[in-house]
Amino acid sequence: MPDILYIVVPCYNEEEVLPETVKRLEIKLSQLIEAKLAGKKSRVLFIDDGSRDKTWEIIESLHTASKLISGLKLSRNKGHQNALLAGLMTAMEKAGVTISIDADLQDDIECMDKFMQQYYSGCDIVYGVRSNRKKDSAFKRFTAQSFYKLMKWLGVNIVYNHADYRLMSKRALEGLESFKEVNMFLRGIVPLIGFKTGTVEYTRGDRFAGESKYPVRKMLAFAWDGITSFSVRPIRFVAVFGFIAFLVSIGLMIKFLIDHIMGVTVSGWSTLAISIWLFGGLQLLALGMIGEYIGKIYSEVKARPKYIVEEVLD
């Protein structure tokens, strides 16, 4: 007997794209049920992450019209990662397996058959991996590839060209639930769970409608959050640089003492001014980086809830 599948879809201001998303996912879920890859009680679960438009009203009306559509409303906007986590934890109570996907229809939903086949072959986690980035702009392609390479270099176990299109079994979700940190970066956390994993390659399409919820500013903030949540190497770089600067200062002190004893007059005003500005800026940068980590510790210590559920339609 096939397991119950919940397709988890976080939404934020998606009123333009939602009707088409529901239509396509409803068809795909019906196909999975007919192919006996998903149980008859399978659902598509939409999570409204505090949208300011009519996203929740649309979800309510679609839930009334179709037994395959469920809804989850958060009390306020908590960000994509927390909204996705809320959906996964809600689905864990009802489903044997979940597939998470964004609402913008850019990820290829036809790959879900392969996801489920790998699940039944023993994989607890299956990653959707982009086969190429030809449709991205040159800037986005460069920044995305640089981010993945940087994360690998920093020692973070992250799947290259994978976002949040993935399958997770109930056992994997129970493992995810044991991670209690407030600063959620699921792309880094999921590989830490372990269990048998698989990958499915696909070509990403264009957004059907609406605007991207990840402009450059949010994209860079998301990347920085991921780096500081999973690696302490930036702080170690600060320490290494401080040690190197200390050695350089010792060498310069010896040189200036020798020059003074030899009676050599050095003008050096430009060098002095540049040194003051350079080291002053680096000190502020180092303090800012340390402050970022202290801020994360502050958030973790308070242990405030990652999300609050206002309403569930199921």
Average model confidence (pLDDT) across the chain:
79
198 and 59 within one domain: yes
pLDDT tens-digit readout, 22-48: 889 999 999 999 999 988 999 999 999
Domain that holds residue 100: 5-212
pLDDT of residue 230: 60
Averaged pLDDT for residues 74-92: 89
Same domain for 99 and 244?
no
pLDDT at residue 5, rounded to an integer? 93
283 and 204 housed in the same domain: no
The average pLDDT across 139-147 equals: 66
More confident residue, 275 or 314: 314
Confidence category of residue 212, pLDDT binned at 50, 70, 90: low
For the segment 225-251, the average pLDDT, to the nearest whole number, is 66
- Among 210-214, 223-227, 274-278, whose mean pLDDT is lowest? 210-214
Q: Give me the pLDDT at residue 274, please.
A: 60
Task: Report d(CA 102, CA 7) in Å as an integer.
Answer: 10
208 lies in the same domain as 242: no
pLDDT at 209 exceeding the cut of 60:
no
At 263, the pLDDT band (50, 70, 90 cuts) reads low
Give a yes or no: residue 37 inside a domain. Answer: yes
- The reply to whether 271 and 173 lie within a common domain is no
Question: Could you tell me which residue, 237 or 270, shows the higher pLDDT?
Answer: 237
Provide the CATH number for the domain around residue 29. Answer: 3.90.550.10
Give per-residue pLDDT as tens, 103-126: 888 888 888 999 999 999 999 999
Q: How many CA atoms lie within 13 A of 54 on its CB side?
A: 9
In a domain, 295, yes or no: yes
Domain tally, the chain:
2
Query: Are 205 and 267 in a shared domain?
Result: no
Chain segment 217-230, per-residue pLDDT in tens: 656 665 666 656 66
End-to-end CA distance of the chain: 22
CA distances from 40 to 3, 5, 212, 233, 314 (A): 9, 9, 33, 48, 14
Other CB atoms closer than 10 Å to residue 302's CB: what's the count?
A: 8
Q: How far is residue 44's CA from residue 84's CA, in Å, rounded to a whole number?
A: 13
Judge if 246 and 126 occupy the same domain: no
- Do both 248 and 204 map to the same domain? no
Residues 176 and 248 grouped into a single domain = no
Residue 68 lies in a domain: yes
Residues 287 and 176 reside in one and the same domain:
no
Question: Is residue 294 a part of any domain in this protein?
Answer: yes
Domain-located, residue 259: yes
User: Of 212, 245, 266, which residue sits at a domain end?
Assistant: 212
- Domain co-membership, 203 together with 243: no
Orientation of helix 186-193 relative to helix 170-177, angle to 10°: 110
Burial of 31 (0-12, 13-18, 19+ CB in 10 A): middle
- On whether residue 313 sits in a domain, the answer given is no
Domain boundary, last residue among 177, 212, 247: 212
According to the model, what pLDDT value does residue 271 have?
Answer: 64
The domain boundary, picked from 147, 182, 212, lies at 212
pTM: 0.71
Query: Does residue 219 sit within a domain?
Result: no
Q: Which of the two residues, 244 and 264, has the higher pLDDT score?
A: 244
Provide the pLDDT confidence category of residue 97 given band limits of 50, 70 and 90: very high
Residue 42 contacts residue 3 (beta carbons within 8 Å): no
Q: Are residues 198 and 62 located together in one domain of the fold?
A: yes
248 belongs to a structural domain: yes
